[in-house]
Structure formats: C-alpha cells, structure tokens
Amino acid sequence: MRGVTVIQHPLVQHNLTRLRDKRTGPQEFRRVMSEVAALIIYEATRSFGVRPHSVVTPIGTSRGSQLKREVILVPVLRAGLGMMDSILQLIPHARVGFIGLKREEKSLRALFYHKSLPKDLSRFEVILIDPMLATGGSAVSAMDLLSELGAKHVRLVNLVAAPEGIAKVRSRYPELPIFTAAVDKKLNRHGYIVPGLGDAGDRLFGV
C-alpha cells in the first residue's frame, strides 16, 4: 500500500500480540503500548529532514547534522496518550499539542472536544499519534485541523489500522505517510477493527 509502512520488526510484532490479547490488563497494556511506540517512532522518524551542523569536539571539528525542523507531537485523546510518553523520551525537545476527539457510538462520527495547538504549524515536523485507525473519521478530522493550522510535514503513527480507515485517509490526504504495526482485516458493524485489540482507550485507562 503506497505511503503505508507496516513495521514488521519482531519486537513490535511481539508487543502488538500482547496488546491484542484480551487477558492483558491496563497496567501491562500501558507499559507494552509505551514500549511499542518507542520502536515504531524510531522507524517513523527515519525520514526527518536534517541540515549540516558542525561542532567543535575537545579534539577537533566534526561535521555533523541537526534536525531541520522543530518537532511537535500531537496525540489524539485519549488513546494517543498511551504512546506519547515514550516518544517524548526519545524526542525530549519536542513540543506537545493535543486534539480531543470522541467517536459517537451510533454514527461513528468523530467530534472535537479539545484543541490545544500552536497557531501556525508550518515550521514543524508534526507527529500525529493515535493507536487506532478504524473508519478514519478521527484521523481525517485531526488532519483537517492540522492543515487549517498550516501543517506541511505531518506523519501519522498508529498501532493497528483497518483497510477502510487507510482508504479514507488516503482519499483525502494521498501524500500523508502512515506508520503502523498492522493492517487488520476489516471493521465490524460497530466500527471496531477485526481482530484489532478492542477499545484502546478503555483498555489503557480501565474506563
């Protein structure tokens, strides 16, 4: 699938399997999601732009590089929070914005309840974080908001994606790079990913 990177690393797949297991309780679920997020982000940031940057070491001059753009993490509440801390540990200088979206149970439409972002995102490398890409409604709404704020360099980081969600995001944002640990079979009639891992927010927070 063009623009979709499925991260097949054995540690990612091992951890994803533990997340899928319904016997995994909130405490372990949080820890494992955090671990897997760190592994995924390593791959998802591989194409970050860099520019040359020289420094003076105690011995001489070294020609190195530094990131070209500021980085902002944008977790989609609630479930995106489960991936945020470990990513922030790897990119400690990143800023953090928040988007609160909740799917309506019947219509499956994603409704905003919180936005906390800089007014202009054009200079940022934006990492949009949401473990689940189901119908794609939340991801498209989040992307619409990021685009309105001028974001030009965005990547979407998921754990589990449904073909339906990928297709929806692709139709509106054909160039958006998507990183995920799995593309599952389908959605069920309630809009849940099959086999998926259930409701990510509920499993993370036990509510």
Element of type H or E holding 52 = strand 50-56
Nearer to ligand URA, 30 or 153 (CB): 30
Neighbour count for residue 13 (Cβ, 10 Å): 15
Nearer to ligand URA, 100 or 118 (CB): 100
- Whether 83 and 37 have beta carbons less than 8 Å apart is answered as yes
Sign of CA dihedral 206, 30, 139, 76: positive
Using the rule CB under 6 A, is 161 a contact of ligand URA? no
Shortest separation between residue 73's beta carbon and ligand PRP, angstroms: 15
Using the rule CB under 6 A, is 21 a contact of ligand URA? no
76: amino acid identity, one letter: V
29: left (phi over 0), alpha (psi -120 to 50) or beta: alpha
Q: Please, which residues bridge with residue 178 across strands?
A: 4, 156
Q: Which of the ranges 21-29, 60-68, 170-178, 198-206 carries the binding residues for ligand URA, by CB under 6 A?
A: 198-206
Nearest Cα neighbor of 87 from 47, 57, 42 is 42
Per CB under 6 A, the list member of 99, 132, 151, 204 interacting with ligand URA is: 132
Using the rule CB under 6 A, is 139 a contact of ligand URA? no
36: amino acid identity, one letter: V
Q: Which of the ranges 38-46, 62-70, 87-95, 188-196 carries the binding residues for ligand URA, by CB under 6 A?
A: 188-196
Quick one: what does residue 69 bind among ligand URA, ligand PRP, none, with the CB cut-off 5 to 8 Å set by partner type? none
Shortest separation between residue 80's beta carbon and ligand URA, angstroms: 11
Quick one: what does residue 165 bind among ligand PRP, ligand URA, none, with the CB cut-off 5 to 8 Å set by partner type? ligand PRP
Dist. CA 45–CA 107, nearest whole Å: 34
Quick one: what does residue 196 bind among ligand PRP, ligand URA, none, with the CB cut-off 5 to 8 Å set by partner type? ligand URA
Nearer to ligand URA, 124 or 179 (CB): 179
Nearest Cα neighbor of 32 from 91, 88, 82 is 82
Binding mask 62-81 for ligand URA (x = CB under 6 A): -----------------x--
Residues in contact with 141: Cβ distance below 8 Å, sequence separation at least 6, in sequence order: 101, 110, 112
The residue ranges that bind ligand URA (CB under 6 A) are 79, 132, 134, 191-193, 196, 199-201
